[in-house]
Structure 1
């Protein structure tokens, strides 16, 4: 070292600090990469992504290589800085060299490169992978030896290097990814993707047409009455039953009526012969499961039944698809906004038969959905009695006024969400 000039030592020290910065930035860049984007780029045959992917197959070796290089460089830099300090200031120069080198390494070889790599991991990791791949080949025996020792120590601690965390996302994490996609996905596309993820949380009971609203034709009625009902039907598939909906016999497709009419064979007897079998769905079936069942069974509608086999309602394939893409223009079922009418005073008049889930979804309210499905059912469960009109209650923080009760059902409810919001703001201030 005595034969090397001080200026040359400063140059070597600067080069070592740059190399240290390279190793520090490479480590952060490699570990900050989005694993799912990396897999996508690998499938697109991106050369840099494929190199990084191969390096990350054994992260213990990659980290070992980077730390070996970084420590060698930093130790060499420390030795050279000590020599420079002693040449310039004597023995006290060792203290100054240690302090100054620590500051320089911290700023220029650690914080700055690592921050840059964390902000732009791909721009750092992909080019860096070329040098790291070459170094791994050159230092392979040394890297393997170091890994063998460290893995042995880990085994003594009960940890295996093969036990790596699997990079898989839960549905909740996927939902967060979709919601955080920002401008990469249109808002409507985000809503559709989230709705698909939500299918596993929603059951057929949440979207079915309830039994009280089922429309069908009694095949024991007079033929002229049946013809009139078929003519005025707004559905392409019509339920047929005997005397009551509990004795349902099947459904009739209006397309079959056209075929029979074209042959002048449309009679009550041919109508009954053309009845199609009904598909039954156990209550509690989630929509993602039912969608697959509809697909496998090649069915488009089914009756929801409880554990006793009693009919609870009807679900169609279109109902499930509407949960994903939104209401179709052809639907005859009133939307939640049709069942919620805003009043001049800021309150809302809500139909008691409106489903809580639809109300929450359309109005961004937060009524509990783990119990009754309708607003009428929610209030009855809360009161444990059939109330009289003009009774006020508060559920989930929302002040409710029962406006109309008829046939043992709450027909209309007034909701005051603005008052609820003022209470929430008041609580937050306190």
Structure 2
């Protein structure tokens, strides 16, 4: 560019170069800031802009190469034109210094901070239109991009980085949990809770959600036939374990739908009950819930007998128990569903010693430890390290407890409340 070039033309060209610099700066930030998972979804849905951006991001080294080549070219050319203009206006002595100071400020505001901030806030609005220009520009400048990337990738290999492809990295379970939490109003709170529960299935075992053996309702064949028939007719459960004398001597699982076959007969025998019972399905107590959910599906089962490492029966688990871990209780009536948790007038709760700690935490929103004993009785005994009197009081975390009754070395009931709830340890007379 000669000294005879009109200043108006040089100013116009300088403004155009600053605009191009802003384009390249915003394109770089927009491309790198775009949500890869939303982009992948849009691409699979057929969005042409998303497909172009996905293709460019497949080789980020080439994308960054063409953007920086263009950005550095227009910035250097702008610096040269600004220097010529400054020399024309301010002279050869002070012109270069003034042009450097002014152009730095202009580029910083109009070609760097402002466009990059906009691209960071609205990456899709910038990246999709920019891809229309960057895609053919990459083809035109490919030899130069190839040369620059070859040297750059060689330096990266020297420090141990061999793969420069832009494949989307997988999310860990904890990262996915964070994504769900941060989704906000995009995912309803109820759905967020369900998704988090699914992610947590791997951390929960069958032993955590099973019905303990002393609470299992079943048919003992040593009882009179009339008693068995009465229990079948009045049962609130659709499936009943059938055993002889002790649940460790389990024979099968009777579905009450099949019970109609012998109940309609004039003569019913215990043998007919056994005949309709299906062979039991056993589950190791340490089986994670996500594995057991799949096992139930593969085995076409809805109920399983939980056994320990010695084969002794510890309780039973059902498909409904696992589903409740995901969707929550099928009823919100705590008094009706959790009879072992009773709300008192003073805001405390009387909880049975056999109550499952995880269930208490879920129902009341508490944070009692679940990595040790499974029941309230076990948790209190572990804390006290001895069998207490019925009047003992203690605090575990933020939960305060007053033991109400001890029977046969078992804490049968305790009054519990949170430390933030003010109430006397003993009821006033």
Q: SS of 2:405's equivalent?
A: strand
State the match for 1:220 in structure 2: 222
Shift of 1:330: 12
> C-alpha separation between the residues in 2 aligned to 1:332 and 1:17?
67
Shift of 1:165: 6.9
| Closer, same or farther: CA 168–333 of 1 in aligned 2, 3 Å | farther
State the match for 1:10 in structure 2: 11
Kindly report the root-mean-square deviation, in angstroms, between the aligned alpha carbons of the 2 structures.
2.1
State the match for 1:58 in structure 2: 59
Q: Give 1:265-344 correspondences, 5 Å limit.
A: 266-328=268-330, 335-336=337-338, 338-344=339-345
Which one of the candidate residues 110, 113, 121 is aligned to 1:111? 113
Please identify, of 79-88 and 259-268, the stretch whose mean Cα deviation from structure 2 is larger.
259-268
Shift of 1:112: 0.2
| TM-score relative to the length of structure 2 | 0.93
5+ residue gaps, structure 2: 424-429
Residue-pair matches, total: 421
Q: Give 1:22-37 correspondences, 5 Å limit.
A: 22-37=23-38
Shift of 1:164: 5.8
Aligned partners of 1:397 and 1:420 also within 8 Å: no
Shift of 1:220: 2.2
Shift of 1:265: 5.5
State the match for 1:428 in structure 2: none
> C-alpha separation between the residues in 1 aligned to 2:139 and 2:225?
88
Shift of 1:399: 2.2
> C-alpha separation between the residues in 1 aligned to 2:313 and 2:334?
21
Shift of 1:421: 9.4
> C-alpha separation between the residues in 2 aligned to 1:83 and 1:130?
33
Aligned partners of 2:335 and 2:342 also within 8 Å: no
Shift of 1:311: 0.6
Shift of 1:33: 0.6
Please identify, of 377-386 and 96-105, the stretch whose mean Cα deviation from structure 2 is larger.
377-386
> C-alpha separation between the residues in 2 aligned to 1:52 and 1:421?
59
Aligned partners of 2:213 and 2:315 also within 8 Å: yes
> C-alpha separation between the residues in 2 aligned to 1:332 and 1:269?
40
Shift of 1:163: 6.5
Aligned partners of 2:307 and 2:314 also within 8 Å: yes
Aligned partners of 1:398 and 1:420 also within 8 Å: no
| TM-score relative to the length of structure 1 | 0.93
CA offsets per residue over residues 400-427 of structure 1, 9 Å max, x none?
A: 21122223221222223143799xxxxx
CA offsets per residue over residues 366-417 of structure 1, 9 Å max, x none?
A: 1111011111110111112221111011212422211222232212222231
State the match for 2:374 in structure 1: 373
> C-alpha separation between the residues in 1 aligned to 2:274 and 2:335?
27
